[in-house]
Amino acid sequence: MHPALQDLWSTVEQSTHLVFVELITDPKRCSNMAAETVVEEADPAGRRHTIRLRLFIPAIDRAYPGAQEPQEGMEFVPFAGLRHETRYAKVLGHELAHVSNMLRDPGYLHLVQEICAEQHAVAAGVRSDGERLSHTALQERSSRIWRLVLESEKPALAAEARIYRELLTNK
């Protein structure tokens, strides 16, 4: 019924990796993000990673349905015309695209891990040697993170757009 979503699900399901999907319904555990993908354990040999997808249902439910202006280079796929269940499917497809890319391409997995490491460093305000980051260094690292995020989002947004078209067609 939704070939793009089914293909992503099958790719992940048929892999040797552990992938967990959580539906977070408690508003206290949600932010404004619709979902997140977390690499909990990366197998150095690449055979059995542990990855967790979290869909934040309250955030998806309250998301603006219409088109949005791009945010600093990031295009958004709208929720217009989708009911709750199909919104969840669209977001799941986006996250499955990230996982599928991580499982297929070690470079993409490394990119995602690099983003997480940089985000943690900026959040802590420290360099890898434990020294505090200056305001300028924080800004530079934040800009670098955003460039990496834009790069990592391209394939997921393309998959999400295909899934969105399928969901609208098969209502």
Return d(Cα 170, Cα 23) in angstroms, integer.
24
Q: For residue 127, what pLDDT is reported?
A: 66
Strands in 35-41's sheet, in edge-to-edge order, are: 18-24, 50-56, 35-41
Structural domain range at position 50: 3-169
Q: Is the pLDDT of residue 128 over 80?
A: no
Q: How confident is the prediction for the chain on average, in pLDDT?
A: 90
Number of domains in the chain: 1
Helix (H) or strand (E) holding 22: strand 18-24
pLDDT tens-digit readout, 83-119:
989 999 999 999 999 999 999 999 999 999 999 988 8
Write the burial class of residue 31 (CB in 10 Å: 0-12 exposed, 13-18 middle, 19+ buried).
exposed
